[in-house]
Amino acid sequence: MKTKTKHSRKGFVLITALLITSISLLLLMPYAASVLADLKLTSIVNNSTMALNLAEAGVERAIWKIKHSDTSSIPVSSLQSSTGDNMGEYMATVTLPDNNSVTIKSYGYIPNKSSYEAKVANSAMKIIMVTYSLNRAFAKAVTALNNITMSGKASTDSYDSSAVDELGDPVGYGGLKADGTLNIGQEGDIASNGAIILGSNTVINGDANPGADYPFSGTPPVSGSYGTLQTPIIVEPIVLPDDISSVNNNKLIVIPPTDPLTVIFNSGTNDLVLSGTTQIDLPTGTYYFTSITMSGQSSINVTGATTIYIDGASGGKVDVNITGQGITNNGIPANLIIYYTGTNIKLAGQASFSGAIYAPSATVTMSGQADIYGSIVCGSNVDSGQAAIHYDTNLANVKPVFAVNKVTSWQEVQQ
């Protein structure tokens, strides 16, 4: 019998080793491919997550800019690590679909916008759409939760209380501005969740938008649009300050010049009652009344930024009844904000009012030649005679002191 030589044994071992190595490689190749695929997928997921985080950073920056400067666009910005490495870019744009909200569209890019647009491997982009409520309660001449009725020669229009003439002096409503145009505009908008009823001689210099279930039956006397509301009006309830009972303590109301120390409260209550030819100056501050009644030729002049809370009674009582000369200020309606919790406000005769009224539960009734320079938020509004509302466009950015801006929708947009 022949025996295997030393060389043949070595050849057998070598062939066996090669076979084992080949088989191992064949078995490892799918595993290696799977690992590479997992690594690639992990990289894609990580980049997508980072792009989403960048888009969220763009939204947060846009909200910050809106709060502080009311900007309409955010340029492309990079986000860097503590060592200075570029981690990606974001870009956010802001649009204003209406006066009470903005739409923010934010893009996040990994590693940057140009790489994504050039389709570089592992680059990523994510988009987030956000609706941000601004709580611009005074964005219209009249905002009513229930209904609006205007008859006779009632009207609305607008003006800009910050307008000046060629010398730089304030011009007021109807004055000649520096550009040679009159300070009268077409932004006297009105809107209601319910019906809007307009008389044949009524003129709305602006938009008139009733609730979805209350379209106009014909062509109304409206210079702007008059389609129904796309979304219902939502008004936040009034939140009275915790120390409301003491806000008048250091705010003396005086009658100049005969009796400068007389406090005009009715029998020790917080009912403010003026009659005859009484005229008072209301110093800058915050005030609390249970009612305001003005008659005859009485008037109130607000001398600076002033807030008045009127915690009215229930049962239909008219807690704000102004039939005298009215309430005026230094020509800036934003300097006087009235918050009224009751159900009835009446302006009649030749009463004039300069300011903003926030009374979401009240019916505001205007008659005679009563004029409002500012804005009204109410339950219902009834105007007749020659009552006019001149909306001050500067009130668009004024919000109730208790209201907060907030995100109302937040969603990732799929590619």
Q: Looking at residue 81, what is its pLDDT? A: 44
Q: State the pLDDT confidence band at 230, using cuts at 50, 70 and 90.
A: confident
| Res 383 pLDDT > 80 | yes
The alpha-carbon radius of gyration of the chain (Å, integer) is: 34
pLDDT value of residue 140: 94
Q: For residues 112 and 220, state if they share a domain.
A: no
| 393 or 405, greater pLDDT | 393
Task: Look at residue 14 and tell me if it is in a domain.
Answer: no
Q: Which domain holds residue 58?
A: 32-136+406-413
pLDDT of 162 over the 80 cut: yes
Give the confidence band of 314 by pLDDT, cuts at 50, 70, 90. low
pLDDT > 90: what percent of the chain? Answer: 36
Considering the domain architecture, whether residues 113 and 158 belong to the same structural domain is answered as no
Note the pLDDT of residue 225. 94
Same domain, 64 and 158: no
Mean per-residue pLDDT, 381-392: 93
- pLDDT tens column, 287-306: 888 888 888 888 888 888 88
Residues 210 and 306 in one domain: yes
* Rounded CA separation 31/27 (Å): 7
Same domain, 119 and 148: no
User: Most confidently modeled of 25-29, 111-115, 165-169, 238-242?
Assistant: 165-169
User: Residue 283's pLDDT is what?
Assistant: 79
| DSSP H/E element including 26 | helix 6-69
Q: Residue 246 falls within a domain, yes or no?
A: yes
Pairing of the two strands 142-150 and 196-198: parallel
| Residue 313 counted as domain residue | yes
In this model, does residue 98 exceed pLDDT 80? no
Instruction: Pick the closest to residue 126 from 113, 145, 143, 142 (CA basis).
Output: 113
Task: Answer whether 127's CB lies under 8 Å from 112's CB.
Answer: no
Residues 121, 175: one domain?
A: no
* Model confidence pLDDT, tens digit, residues 316-369: 577 889 887 888 887 799 999 999 999 999 998 888 899 999 999 999 999 988
Look at residue 177 and tell me whether its pLDDT is greater than 60: yes
Same domain, residue pair 167 and 267: yes
Q: What is the pLDDT of residues 35-70, one digit of tens each?
A: 565 556 566 678 888 889 999 988 888 888 777 665
What are the beta bridge partners of residue 289? 310
Would you state the structure tokens that stand for residue 285, as one six-digit string?
């501050």
- Identify the burial level of 168 via C-beta atoms within 10 angstroms of its C-beta, where 0-12 means exposed, 13-18 middle and 19 or more buried: exposed
* Residue 226 pLDDT greater than 70, yes or no: yes
Structural domain contains residue 92: yes
Q: What phi, psi does 394 have (nearest 5°)?
A: -70, -10
Please indicate, yes or no, if residue 218 is contained in any of the structural domains.
yes
Q: Tell me what pLDDT residue 219 has.
A: 92
**Residue bearing the bigger pLDDT, 242 or 120:** 120
Q: In this structure, are 319 and 379 located in the same domain?
A: yes
Residue 147: pLDDT band by 50, 70, 90 thresholds? very high
Q: Check if the beta carbon of residue 142 is closer than 8 Å to that of residue 157.
A: no
User: Does 250 score more than 50 pLDDT?
Assistant: no
Q: In this predicted model, which residue has the larger pLDDT, 95 or 249?
A: 95
Chain mean pLDDT for the chain: 81
Q: What is the mean pLDDT of residues 192-202?
A: 95
Same domain, 181 and 310: yes
**In this model, does residue 128 exceed pLDDT 50?**
yes
Confidence of residue 4 (pLDDT cuts 50, 70, 90): low
Please give the structure tokens belonging to residue 392: 């001050």
Number of domains making up the chain: 2
Query: Does 11 reside within a domain?
Result: no
Instruction: Specify if 25 maps to a domain.
Output: no
Q: Are 163 and 365 in contact (CB under 8 A)?
A: no
Report pLDDT for 245. Answer: 59
Q: Are residues 191 and 57 in the same domain?
A: no
Same domain, 182 and 104: no
Q: Based on the fold, state whether residues 129 and 154 are members of the same structural domain.
A: no
State the pLDDT confidence band at 160, using cuts at 50, 70 and 90.
Answer: very high
pLDDT at residue 175, rounded to an integer: 93
The answer as to whether 5 is a domain residue is: no
Strand (E) or helix (H) holding 15: helix 6-69
Q: What single-letter DSSP state applies at residue 182?
A: B
